[in-house]
Structure 1
């Protein structure tokens, strides 16, 4: 059953990331002057991501109900109404589904290109409500659903979704079109990749800051990184993120300038970061198709690593931080039952 709980959480963070990434591409990566079929493809991708988010929300409700009750699947018809009506998790889940409904309405309205400039930012705001529901019902919500830890975790989940999700969107929706039209859309290819790099850099800064805060609260000392299961999973997650940063750094400091030189755009002077070991410059004389294919390959690999990072995040969500374990005197928590659970209790996962 524990595997099902982790799978439900992983599906949820994947769906949130997919939505955040597509919306980030619509708002900040794909320029408005790009041909309409790029925007249409992204908006269609948002519909698929919303379908995944809707399904993930339902699966998550089932998983949390089973965790709360400790009962088998056969008891769901009885337990689900109790969770929805008598627990704070159920109340937060209802708000989440209202936000998902707003997302669907925005997506339908955004089918009209004239309404899309309004539908996209409103959709991002509605998605932030979904992100809040994710954070408020996890470890961060133990001190209260409006505590500082919840807002920091919201920033972490949202920025992680933008970073990883934009890689998904670029890999599945944008690069296949750009690779077929690279000779026609030279300037667009260089601009889109440069914009993606800037968005990823800003998201990464938020991820690092909020991640350090979360780790500081969950670990009592540096030794917990290898002496506890929670710390070991966190260490793997950090290693995967560093690998993604390494790949993204080469994109930013070598592939983007090479694309810009190929297009004839001015490039920034060489910097210290371009001399990182293992980073090799690319020659613009190889042609746009070669350069863009190298960009796409790097983004594909980053996206695959992102899937593993989100899997590690799901495992962490279902583990108890060492600091909390020591605070509890290493006494394992007894799983709450619906009968004993307080009406306002969120329940720890």
Structure 2
């Protein structure tokens, strides 16, 4: 019995259109991987998925029982594929020259055969497999030993938590930081890279799969969604709102959020930033001397009032315009205010 597992991974139309804008409708791509690191791509119509699997099983012969299919198909084994592996497969498809054009030609020939009542396989023939030539791949291997395994050596202690590595690691050298904005757009969430350079007429790229961190504070998109994008040029990416927690979707519908985007070899990592809240204006500061009390300003106010009254009384007592008539009928300065009071005391 062979110890090598063959994996047939079907990349569906929505995922492929997320990394290749002109991917034709109803077309799929099967990626076949084996434990030796070989990889082959097979373009086909979605209605042909069953025929493609049967053809592959016949080609494997005695090794057919080692075939696993993703997504799961009844009658076939399956296996778990990590999100990062799926993104690598999409990136491989996006970087394969001429793949999209081949899918378009296939779609035209398939539609013609169906309209004429012909067998598509007979009409298309070997042109259905322009990318079936095997080539070496650095994708994760899928071989799986079914014999008794030796105990694996104990892993070396990690310096960092899972998911963190030193920036000096050659596989992690690529990193581009980009400013971005997020907002609700109909039933979608729209991400705009380098929004300050946007002309308003950019054609959005649709991405159907969005991966989230455990705390939903960061999400990741397939690296292939960037296609041939270059920093300094606006790029618009649309994602279905149902791919987001309702808490985030509601925020994006309510207002535009800024975001920090890190573009690496493994994906597009987006960290939305909460809007800054406007703090209420601060009350003016009042300097208070030590020992201040309510009675001190009250005493000061009473002193000022007393001085005003006293000043007013003095002014009235010596006013040059106050006059009176004496006993002889002559006009003389009249004593008023304090002077009058003093005179009154003298008389008593």
TM-based fold match above 0.5: no
State TM-score, norm by structure 2: 0.25
Which structure has the bigger radius of gyration?
Answer: 2
Which protein, 1 or 2, shows the higher relative CO under an 8 Å CA cutoff with sep ≥ 6? 1
- Is the helix fraction higher in 1 or 2? 1
- Is the strand fraction higher in 1 or 2? 2
